[in-house]
Amino acid sequence: MILRDLLRVLGSHRRDGRNLTIDEAHRAFATILSGSESEIQVGAFLIALRWKGVTVEELVGFARAARERAVIPCQGLAGLVTLCPPHEGYDRVPPLEVVSGLIAASAGARVLIISDRCVPPRRGLTAISVLEHLGCGATWDPHEAEDWVVKARFGAVALSGMLPAMLGLRRVRNDIGVRTPLSTVEKLIAPSQSAVVLGAQGGPVLGTAVEVMQRLGHSSGMAIQGLEGGLVPTLRRRTRGIHLDGQHQIPMTIDPADFGMGLSEDAELPMFGPPDEGQGTGDNPQLVRAAGEITRAVLAGDGGPARNSALLAAAIILRTARLVPTFAEGVDLATEALDSGAASAILAHLRELC
């Protein structure tokens, strides 16, 4: 019983326990993914970590164990940026990482989105929800995802296809009902050499996220505290983030007013209502359709908040890919690519590949 022993290490009180080492964390997550521990033990372990607070070393150990077991596409592919939004999705805003990724791909980046569908506890709207509505979907086959990225510069893959053991944890996550370190770990399962854009929740977590990326071998990345913990900036205020550039961690803010995109009204994007009792937004076909149509409208040239947010997120991707030195140049390049119809052309190519 590896988790039982490690629960004793964590202790029943902050004063009688300690953090796990990288090796202990690696062993813990490897045994969780193996399915050899009971759901009760797994749930107790996850809650103990949530209560204690997860450390950089623990996240590094968990991520290494997950990467060893996963089939990860696009390893060694030059110019790749991996987008890592929250896999449990969004309750109130559309997943604009899809259109942002298409724009960035049409501007010269290679983009891989790693997502999933209806992941507890939120079971919200995700990139996969939007892509299915647009008629190209994502794939559960990592090799197919790599083929799409090579041929179309854009692809999306379900984490549960890369690492099927994560499906076995869904009932535990649903029963716990609150976010656990699993929500962070799943965003760290990415090609080791790629640049990474990672959505982070509010609070003092940005430094931890970037340090973990660096310890996992990434030389370029950004952690962004965007809408609902995603990687799309807000238009109502500055969005905080940290840019990993080689050995340097650079705090930064994205102010939409700097690009003429700030809003004065309360709402910034089309806002969805709270999900029905017992149902996530990702389970609701009407909300999936609405999110997909917002993405389609941006690609078709409609102006407004969704376009502005998508352009800012695309600029983040382009800067992380080191295709532009500043966000301003990223916004200009993204705007040119979107208005030229190149992003729509990539979507059409994806439909052919699917």
Taking residues 310-316, what's their average pLDDT?
97
pLDDT at 97: 97
pLDDT at 13: 57
CA distance 235 to 180: 28
pTM: 0.94
pLDDT at 12: 61
The domain limits of the chain are 2-69, 80-353
The upper half-sphere exposure of residue 323, i.e. CA atoms within 13 Å in the direction of its Cβ, equals 24
CA distance 110 to 81: 6
- Ranges 8-12, 205-209, 210-214, 226-230: which has the least confidence: 8-12
Which residue from 334, 337, 144 is spatially nearest to 232, judged by alpha carbons?
334
Taking residues 31-45, what's their average pLDDT?
93
- For domain 80-353, the CATH architecture is 3-Layer(aba) Sandwich (3.40)
The upper half-sphere exposure of residue 75, i.e. CA atoms within 13 Å in the direction of its Cβ, equals 12
- C-alpha distances in Å from residue 197, one per residue of 86, 139, 221: 11, 20, 6
CB 170 within 8 A of CB 119: yes
Is 172 in a helix, a strand, or coil?
helix
Using only C-alpha atoms, the chain has a radius of gyration, in whole angstroms, of 19
- Over residues 257-273, the pLDDT tens digits come to 999 887 655 455 666 76
pLDDT at 31: 96
Buried b (16+ CB within 10 A) or exposed e, 112-146: bbbbbbbbbbbbbbbbbbbbebbebbbbbebebbb
Average pLDDT, the chain: 92
Taking residues 304-325, what's their average pLDDT?
96
CB 197 within 8 A of CB 83: yes
- C-alpha distances in Å from residue 264, one per residue of 110, 238, 256, 268, 311: 35, 14, 12, 9, 19
pLDDT at 221: 97
Residue 30: other Cβ atoms inside 10 A: 18
- Ranges 141-150, 172-181, 182-191, 327-336: which has the least confidence: 172-181
pLDDT at 72: 98
Checking if the pLDDT of 282 tops 90, the result is no
Q: How many percent of the chain have pLDDT more than 70?
A: 94
pLDDT at 137: 79
Checking if the pLDDT of 255 tops 80, the result is yes
pLDDT at 266: 47
Taking residues 13-31, what's their average pLDDT?
86
| Greater pLDDT, 178 or 243 | 243
Alpha carbon 327 to chain centroid, angstroms: 20
CATH of domain 2-69: 1.20.970.10
